[in-house]
Amino acid sequence: MPEIVLAHDYLVQCGGAERVVAHWASAFGSRTLYTLAYSPQGTFDQFRDLDVHPSIHGSLTAQVERLLPALPAIADRTVVSGGDVALVSSSGWAHRFAYQMPHVVYVHSPARWLYAASDYRMRLSPMRRAGLWASTPLLRHGDREAMRRAASVIANSVVTRDRIREAYGLDAEVVNPPVEPVAAEARAPRHPLPDAFTLCVARDRGYKNIGLAVAASRVAGLPVIVAGSGSEQLDRPEEGVHGLGRVTDAELAWLYRHADVVIGSGREDFGLTIIEAALEGTPAAVVPAGGYLETVSPGVNGFHAGSATPEDLAVAIRAARELDPVASRTWARRFGLDAHVGKMSRVLEEVVQRA
């Protein structure tokens, strides 16, 4: 196996993309990781054992997303060296780094602020929204040039493959993310919780559409637990909404195991949480779009709603509660780490041989 250097946009949160990179570090024995910003307390503990090279330091680390106008230039000047090949996790920036070796880009999504602007700009002030709109043509030009420098481009799902083709004019192979149980032991959160509940695992981002999950749970007659950074702002137990904020992996495992149904209500490119829940025997009720079309097998580990409305999603919630936990676990195992590593190893070795 060649020596593999890792790269990722920025390590400041506990999201699905960060979990994928953590799996890579362990599976490929990688010790070096390049990124724009690194907050050890804000992301998974596994990265503490790596030699992490951030381009942004100090107090600016916590404000990395607010540095959007400067990020293209910072990314372009982030030099990645050492190793035989770089494995790049990107949803916007890491593919722009200056690689001194062949590199493979694993795309979680083409940059939302460039190619799915309605998802991203809703979080910006009117002034920043106008600035992004004006600079989009130039940003897209640089983004496309950077992606075309990759030795190979991999998509995390079929929907991402289609978006890559539309954004960059490139054909990408699909390799689904590795999904393993989030923790060996489960621990109940220190928060009074109902006996029966739906679960929505999502950071408080507009495209996650947490409001739909809350509304659908209410129609289905179940309280909802929301876990993820920022969700503590939604905590209204008297209204059947329990916002826990960021939880540990052990607490997340407990929530997966005890939830009646996990809800997928956002615009996801894959949706790791659906498979993580299925590994614990918990079915899903999801909107009929994006990565959920791959991660949910109707009648096996969940159901797609007839439409993205609270009423139709509630129908899917009620139906999912009747599914067999064993079938959910069996379905989820096909997305395991071994299958992912086997496919990615082949791609990496082919790239090194061509170099």
- Please, what sign has the CA dihedral across residues 35, 86, 76, 53? positive
Residue that has been written with the tokens 């590994």 in this structure: 279
Q: Across 204-306, where does the E strand assignment appear? A: 224-227, 241-245, 261-264, 284-286, 302-304
Mean pLDDT, rounded, for 32-39: 97
**The model scores a pTM over 0.95:** no
Q: Give the helix/strand (H/E) hosting 285.
A: strand 284-286
Domains defined for the chain, CATH in brackets: 4-178+336-354 (3.40.50.2000), 198-334 (3.40.50.2000)
Do 240 and 217 meet the contact criterion of CB atoms below 8 Å apart?
A: yes
Q: Is the pLDDT of residue 137 over 80?
A: no
Which range (120-134, 205-219, 288-302) has the least confidence? 120-134
Report, as an integer, the average pLDDT of 138-149.
89
* Per-residue confidence band for 123, with pLDDT thresholds at 50, 70 and 90: low
Reported as a single tens digit per residue, the pLDDT across 317-350 is 999 999 999 999 999 999 999 999 999 999 999 9
Quickly count: other Cβ atoms within 10 Å of residue 32's Cβ: 19
What is the mean predicted confidence (pLDDT) over 78-84?
Answer: 96
The answer to whether 136 touches 114, Cβ cutoff 8 Å, is: yes
pLDDT-derived band of residue 133, with 50, 70 and 90 as boundaries?
A: low
The residue written with tokens 């959007």 in the block is 68
